[in-house]
Amino acid sequence: MNGQTYRQLHARSLRNPEEFWLEAAGAVDWVTAPRQALDDAAAPVYRWFPGTELNLSYNCLDRHREAGRGEQTALIYDSALTPDSRSYTYAQLTEEVARCSGMLRDLGVGAGDRVIIYLPMIPQAPIAMLACARLGAVHSVVFGGFAARELASRIEDAAPDVVITASGGIEPSRRVEYLPTVAEALRLSSHKVSHVVVQHREGFAHSVQEEARAEEGAADTQAQWHDWEQRSAQSGPAGPVTVAATDPLYILYTSGTTGRPKGVVRDQGGTAVALSWSMQAIYAVGPGQRILTASDVGWVVGHSYIVYAPLLVGATTVLYEGKPVGTPDAGAFWRMVQEHRISALFTAPTALRAIRKTDPEAALVADYDISSLEHLFVAGERLDPATQRWIGEALDVPVIDNWWQTETGWPIAANPVGLDPLPVKEGSATLPMVGYDVSILDAAGEELPAGEEGNIALRLPMPPGTLPTLWGDDQRYIDSYLTAFPGFYATGDSGYLDEDGYLFVMGRTDDVINVSGHRLSAGAIEAVLASHPAVAECAVIGLADELKGQRATGFVVLKSGREDQPETLTAELTDLVRRMIGPVADFKSVSVVTALPKTRSGKILRKTMRQIADGETPRVPSTIEDASVLEDLTPVLRPHR
């Protein structure tokens, strides 16, 4: 195939979505096969594959064993923090999931019931997710380490019968006790959970027995606490339960502007079809191939490309408990590529920038045989061209940017290298994927021509696998995403389409800087700063200016070993921006910092930085990775007022 062939395929997916998605549904084993793809009766709330039935756990596990591939490795657990690394074949993983399903069934969990999963990156996390899917229960994974109040808010909204957790999570420099957090969350929540199941891990101060005894004397909660191994040993395995394609598979919470989290819903059938298509077409991963997705199961990338998509297509997925640097060094990813013969590596730009900061010359790559690696995929934060170029040269493989959101569940724009590889343009996520009709709109909702930056919007209906609604609140879904531009889903991101239809995502719409009436992209300025040889990573924010409305201000983290003088560096960066963007940017303020505040998924907290610099008291997101970074940065931000 060639680029023109993919464009024809994309056009067909928009022109005749019924035909396209019914054909794609052939990759899934159905109990009741689909005869209709799209149900638009309740538009703008759409449903995919109405009247059909399946079981996603069966599609991920049992069918591969039944096809004679039970001894193929399904899951590799690679822990850089414990000696517990191990592998599961498809037969073994099916048995583990069936036993966990039996345990949940015996605790009263059935189709439609909710289960909160609050686990670190250990095998029990995907096992619990797949066990819920086996029963038709709805799982909601909460990132391990979230504070009690955040966990409680998700318990309140999802109203689960069971919470599954572990003794704790392990960081390179500390251990995080989970059980006191879970106990506190149960006390804070008005919804009363019936059961808490705990996976025991060695080396933690709190035990399930202690929490169970404490619970007996508590009047404000009523949960029974169970040890996972002991409780599952009492239960027989459970088989897959047939559910409707339109039933919810999971809820994944994102931060809401009101403080109440938004529960993004993912359905059963649309998810199975979209992830099956994307795994092979976008990521070039099929039966027997191996993918390392260096994310967390608490994020959408972990849901889609650690757990469901690889197993749907019969691939081998690697679950990594560790960091890109420091466990033990910046060669962690390359060690796993060699050891597990990885063909596809998927990570976030922030991980690459961390590696670049620690190992600027990528010298550690030479210590490993990475010949199995065919592609590096990157998503989660804007991939600046300098980082893309650096890692591509270091690994000598294509670096494929792809852009999507928690809400969409799979890429909006990417390069379909498994189907029809397209030329790479640095700074672009390439073309919209099948089913996505991308437009660039101005504030009035009018379409902008090629090259002009505006609001990225997706024409309705969106393809299968995207959110059909928010948990328990169709109206909030409509108000949050579908009212800004009628007939479109508003992504909240800004960008442009070039003359070839390539999509360039420049950042959130609130990251547009207005200097003397000129709208400048923070992402474009960041790309210039990141091209400087001293800069490991950077953030640009627009700060209030009495004369010009806003002024662009840069914050940069230097590569390891660089000791550039601040005055010299500022002059060089200012000159770079003037030459690459123009004098209109009026860029002349740069601060060197040791670290940038980020969420646990790697997104830089630009809005929070801007609020602090402008003298506001921000609501610091619960997803912040290390609050001390923001505390250390505050004295640097305040003088910019």
Torsion 98-104-110-113 (CA) sign: negative
Instruction: Tell whether 331 is covered by a domain.
Output: no
Are 434 and 560 members of one domain? no
- Is the pLDDT at 214 greater than 60? The verdict is yes
How many domains is the chain built from?
A: 2
Question: Per the structure block, which two tokens stand in for 287?
Answer: 């039966």
Tell me what pLDDT residue 258 has: 47
What span, in angstroms and rounded, lies between the C-alpha atoms of 183 and 393? Answer: 49
Give me the helices (H) in 513-565, please: 522-530
| Burial class of residue 499, CB neighbours in 10 A (0-12, 13-18, 19+) | exposed
Are 478 and 621 members of one domain? no
Tell me what pLDDT residue 517 has: 54
Ramachandran region, residue 326 (left: φ > 0; alpha: ψ -120 to 50; beta: rest): left
- Is the pLDDT at 132 greater than 90? The verdict is yes
What span, in angstroms and rounded, lies between the C-alpha atoms of 435 and 10? Answer: 7
* Among the listed residues 579, 586, 533, 575, the one whose alpha carbon sits nearest the alpha carbon of residue 556: 533
Question: Per the structure block, which two tokens stand in for 343?
Answer: 């063909």
Question: Per the structure block, which two tokens stand in for 439?
Answer: 């437009």
Rg (CA), the chain: 24
pLDDT, tens only, 480-498: 999 999 999 999 888 999 9
Instruction: Tell whether 363 is covered by a domain.
Output: no
Continuous segment of H or E residues that includes residue 459:
strand 454-459
CATH number of 408's domain: 3.40.50.12780
- Looking at the DSSP bridge assignments, the partners of residue 21 are none
What span, in angstroms and rounded, lies between the C-alpha atoms of 137 and 122? Answer: 21
Instruction: Tell whether 510 is covered by a domain.
Output: no
Which among 435, 464, 494 is the end of a domain?
494
Tell me what pLDDT residue 516 has: 59
- Is the pLDDT at 325 greater than 90? The verdict is yes
Continuous segment of H or E residues that includes residue 309:
helix 309-312
DSSP assignment of 122-171 equals STHHHHHHHHHHHHT-EEEE--TT--HHHHHHHHHHH--SEEEEESEEEE
CB atoms within 10 A of CB 520: 25
- Is the pLDDT at 512 greater than 90? The verdict is no
Tell me what pLDDT residue 224 has: 95
Are 194 and 77 members of one domain? yes
Would you state the torsion angle of the CA atoms of residues 180, 181, 187, 190, taken in this order, to the nearest 10 degrees? Answer: -160
Give the range of the structural domain holding residue 450, as residue numbers without chain letter. 3-322+402-494
What span, in angstroms and rounded, lies between the C-alpha atoms of 165 and 200? Answer: 9
Which among 494, 524, 549 is the end of a domain?
494
What percent of the chain is predicted at pLDDT more than 90? 74
Which among 464, 494, 524 is the end of a domain?
494
